Structure 1
């Protein structure tokens, strides 16, 4: 077949495919059902519990005593969202800018977490127009000036696991030279691997963050509270699953979430969508285990190698 005829044939096939093609979800769900599935898939929330209040009290104590420290938890515990919630108690926003005073600043680090990334994150949180412009010296001067101008009394750094040694030293200088206490927030890798490194350059880091707090996982009673809150927020009253009234389902959620709130939310979305697609599906631990058998349980905490 000539190249011209081959191109013509391919064009006909492509045109036919475009006519026949429909997204897979549209073939198995009506538009109304698909819209409901997408709404549930986007459900994003955080329910504050007693554990959050206890964390906030500890953060208040660190701020008042001007002490640096760190908070750790398992990945997916909700710790980062808890810290954001704590920040909102002390800071008001006007659009993308923070209002003065902003006594608590929360900045999240993105890889790879060097000094430039650190100061860019702080300036972005403030809403500074020059957050990503200039050399490190300029960013440092800008950030330190902002901390003073905004009356910052506590600087919380999320994803502190990503920080490099140079960035840790920058934060130590923020405390020693500006007297703004710094709280590192991360996973157990932060406390058990980074801060405990047997390396002379990390001795200064270790000795600068001696105060610690462990953000706990959910108890079974707290899982019940979270599930009730999620259903009330995202499921219409006539479509509630009433999962907390099914003991075996709560047991399944506790095991498969590992007591972590983000995996728990993942499971709730998955179960709600399952019931939309299969209204007659009987919710119990046995059926859910069979249905979602390939889902792994989170590794909440690794054992350190000796």
Structure 2
């Protein structure tokens, strides 16, 4: 190979390397399209529906009657977000701190939710500077004092499936000694398995949480409301999908999400990005199945069985 040809070959190879070093998205899309895709990918919302209002009414009743209980739903139902919205109706934040009074406290538990994890989560939600300082005895005393000082009237615990027996007993003591009703929030496994355990140590837990509420999945009418709301919030007017005007598309979304709002939002993001990349893609049931047929459906019934 001549020196001239070798130089051309080296230049071509360097250009290929430079192109391959660019992010794959930049090679696939224009900067404007990529910016739109990233914005849609970060879309995070929740639409308040009648099912949420009914849940809030039940929570109000539990608070007023000072009754403990538990709420269950399928994974991805939006129940945790609904409980967060309930808290915001009664409590305001000033920076990282809750304003006094804070009549509703909602705290989510991480895995291995023992007593220490429980109290740390509660104190983090309140914004206490010593949320992770001290022994269990210190955390308990601090948390109880803070709950009293903030005038808490109901304590809601998300991801209650993660709680250990010792943490359940801590919550029961909060109710017995402070008269603050505790509401456990989790999947169907919480109600069908954990709270129904026959072993002697769980009798106290079972008998302390006798009131229950099942948070329902979305109806077809609610799916239409959610889709319209999502498109209005996150899609530019000239990029609206108008999915609610396509019966077969709504049927597909209903079937593929099984009425769960989080999988529904996942599908909406994916479809919207697909339309950016392939503007001629047809939004009908047949083509959606062809494109997303490998996507699994939520195991709602599996949740129910545990």
TM bucket normalised to smaller: over 0.9
In structure 1, the partner of 2:104 is 104
**Whole-Å separation in 1 of the counterparts to 2:33 and 2:245:** 26
For each residue in 1:223-262, what CA deviation from the matched residue of structure 2 results, as whole angstroms up to 9, or x when unmatched?
0000000000001111111000000000000000010000
* Correspondences of 1:1-306 after superposition (within 5 Å): 17=17, 20-302=20-302, 304=305
Deviation, 1:304, is: 3.5
Gaps of 5+ in 1: 1-12
**Whole-Å separation in 1 of the counterparts to 2:295 and 2:277:** 19
SS in 2 for 1:72: strand
**Whole-Å separation in 2 of the counterparts to 1:71 and 1:166:** 20
In structure 2, the partner of 1:8 is none
**Whole-Å separation in 1 of the counterparts to 2:286 and 2:167:** 49
SS in 2 for 1:217: coil
**Whole-Å separation in 1 of the counterparts to 2:221 and 2:252:** 14
SS in 1 for 2:90: coil
For each residue in 1:131-173, what CA deviation from the matched residue of structure 2 results, as whole angstroms up to 9, or x when unmatched?
0111000000000000000000000000000000000000000
Deviation, 1:297, is: 0.4
**Whole-Å separation in 2 of the counterparts to 1:155 and 1:56:** 14
Aligned residues between the structures? 293
Gaps of 5+ in 2: 1-12
SS in 1 for 2:183: strand
SS in 2 for 1:152: coil
Between stretches 23-32 and 208-217, larger displacement belongs to 23-32
Deviation, 1:120, is: 0.0
**Whole-Å separation in 1 of the counterparts to 2:17 and 2:168:** 56
**Whole-Å separation in 2 of the counterparts to 1:268 and 1:216:** 21
Superposition CA RMSD, Å: 1.6
**Whole-Å separation in 1 of the counterparts to 2:297 and 2:111:** 26
SS in 2 for 1:75: coil
Q: TM-score, normalised by structure 2?
A: 0.93
The 1:280/1:19 distance shift into structure 2, 3 A limit, reads closer
Q: TM-score, normalised by structure 1?
A: 0.93
**Whole-Å separation in 1 of the counterparts to 2:25 and 2:132:** 41
Deviation, 1:301, is: 2.5
Runs of 4+ aligned residues of structure 1 deviating over 6 Å after TM superposition are none
Deviation, 1:24, is: 1.0
SS in 1 for 2:305: coil
SS in 1 for 2:228: helix
Say if 1:73 and 1:216, in contact at 8 Å, map to a contact too: yes
Say if 1:188 and 1:301, in contact at 8 Å, map to a contact too: no
